[in-house]
Amino acid sequence: MSVPEPDPLRQIRPDPRMDMLAPIAILEHLEARLVDALAQLPLAAPGGMQSVLLSLPRSPAAAPQLVGRQFQFQHAQRGELHAGYGEAIAWQASGPARLRTLADALAETHWRRADIDETGFDAFAMLGFAAGDEAAPRVDGSLPNAILWVPEIGLVCRDHEAALVFSTPLPAPPDAVLGRWRRALRQLVPALFQPPTGPLTPARLTRVGEDPDAAGWTGLVQAALARIDAGPIEKVVLSRRLEVQGPRPFDIGRLLGALGCLFPSCQTLSLRRNGQSFVAATPERLLDLRNRRLEIDAIAGTAPRAESVAGDAALRAALLGSDKNLREHRVVIDAIRTALADCCDAFRVPDTPQVMQLTNAQHLWSPITARPRPGVGLFELAERLHPTPATNGQPRNDAKDWIRHTEPFDRGWFTGAAGLLRPDGTGELWVLLRCARVAGAHAELYAGSGIVAGSDPASEWDETEAKLAAMLSALQYA
C-alpha cells in the first residue's frame, strides 16, 4: 500500500508546555486537538479507514489495563511498547485460506493516516491466529481462529517518545467519532501516567491438573519415537498443558511486568477478548518483514541453565556439541529454506548456530535473512512458515496430522502466532510460546518439546518443566 500523503494537519505542533501538565490538562489538550483534526479529515469518504496520530508529552511506564478488549506487545530490551484499546474494525477468518482472507481484507481497505504532530510513528493492527485452522479452537472460546484487529485507540512508545493513534472506519459522522474517541480518552489518559504497579508478595500456586501426566507423557514420547522410526517423520513436537490455581485473581499488568523483568529479551504480549487473557513471553520471531528484507529466527535445541558460571558454560558447550540437538536444529533450518525457496532470494544462514540464553533455558539459534520476491507479502510468508518445525515437526503435513490425532488436547493459540502489522502490509509476528490462558485466579499453561530419534522421555519432560517455569515464576508475583 502507498505511504501516507502529505497532510495539512502536519503544520500543527505540540505545545512544549505539555511536559509539565497534569493528566487532566493533557486530556483537555488532546480533546481540543481532536476537534481541530476532525474538522479537516475526509470522514465522509466512501469506505476505508482513517487514523490520526497525536503525540504524548512523555512516554508512560506501562500500558494500563482497562476494561474491555485490549492487546499489548512489549519488548523490554528493545524499549518498544504497543497497546490497543477497543476495536475500530476487526476481520476474522478460519480454514485453510484464513490468512489469504485477511490479506484481501487489508488490501481492499484504503487506510488513510494523518500524523499531525510529525511523530514518525504509524498506525498499526494486531494480526494473530491459532495453531490450527479449524473454525474455533476448542480450548479457547475467547479468541477467534484468526483475526486482524485495528484498535480504536492505539498506544505506541519507542526511545522515550510516545503517541496515541485514533482510528475509525469510513464513512463516519464527525460528532459520533468525536464522542467515541472522547469517551475512550477519558478512560485511558488518567491511567496512562499512574505509577506502575509493582510485584506482589509471591503466592503459592496449586497444580490442579495436567494433560498428559508423567506416565501419559512417556507413552506419548514412545509413540512418537516409533512413528519416527517408521518414517517419513523426522521430528514431531509434543505439548503439555498445566492448570494452576492461585489464591487471588491474577493481575495481568503485574504479570506482564514480571515477565518483562524476568525475560527482557523476549516479546511479552497479552490479548484480551470476552473476559479472558492470553499471555505469552516468547523468544521466537516467526518473521519480521520491512523494507523488502525478511528476518526469521530458527530456534530448536534446548539445554537448562546452571547456577554457576562454570556450570552454565559447560551446559552451553554440551548443547553446541549435542548431535541430537544439532540434528533437531538443522531440521528447522532446512524446512525454512524449503518453505521459502520459490518466493525468496538471497538467503543468509550462519554456518553454525548461536546460543540464545534466557533466564531459565538456552537454545540453539540461527538468525536467517532473505529477500522476498516482488508481490510476496507478509501473509503469504506467514502461511508458508507456519507451523514451524520448532513447534510442529517435519515433514510438516505428516507431523501436523499425527499431532492432531495423537495429542490429548487442542492447543488453541499455543504455537500459533501474533504480532503487529503496519498499514503497508509489513510487520513482525512472533510464535506463541511460554503461554498461559488466564481467567480470574485460574491459569492454563502450555509448553512443548521436540522429539527426534534418540529423544529420552524423562529428559523431554524436564525440558517442558523448565519452559513452564517461565510463566509459573511470573504468575507467583501477579
Q: How are beta strands 276-282 and 344-348 bridged, if at all?
A: unpaired
How many Cα neighbours within 13 Å face the side chain of 225? 12
What is the C-alpha to C-alpha distance for residues 393 and 328, in angstroms, rounded to an integer? Answer: 9
**b/e string for 159-188 if b means 16 or more Cβ within 10 A?**
eeebbbbbbbebebeeeebbebbeebbebb
Q: Name the DSSP letter for residue 8.
A: G
Q: Do the beta carbons of residue 182 and residue 31 sit within 8 Å?
A: yes
**235 included as an active-site residue:** yes
**444 included as an active-site residue:** no
Q: Residue 354: which residues within 8 A CB-CB, separation 6 or more?
A: 364, 365, 366, 367
What is the C-alpha to C-alpha distance for residues 217 and 414, in angstroms, rounded to an integer? Answer: 18
Q: Which of 152, 234, 235, 444 is catalytic?
A: 235
Three-state SS sequence of 376-406: CCHHHHHHHHCCCCCCCEECHHHHHHHHHHH
Residue 64 zone, left/alpha/beta (φ > 0; ψ -120 to 50; rest): beta
Q: Which of 152, 234, 284, 428 is catalytic?
A: 284
Q: What is the H or E stretch that residue 190 is in?
A: helix 174-192
- Residue type (1 letter), 336: I
Q: Do the beta carbons of residue 90 and residue 150 sit within 8 Å?
A: yes
Q: What is the H or E stretch that residue 225 is in?
A: helix 214-230
**b/e string for 423-454 if b means 16 or more Cβ within 10 A?**
bbebbbbbbbbbbbbbeeeebbbbbbbbbbee
Q: Do the beta carbons of residue 393 and residue 236 sit within 8 Å?
A: yes
C-alpha cell at 263: 525475560
Please identify which residue in the block is written with the cell numbers 500500500: 1
C-alpha cell at 266: 523476549
Which residues form the catalytic set? 235, 284
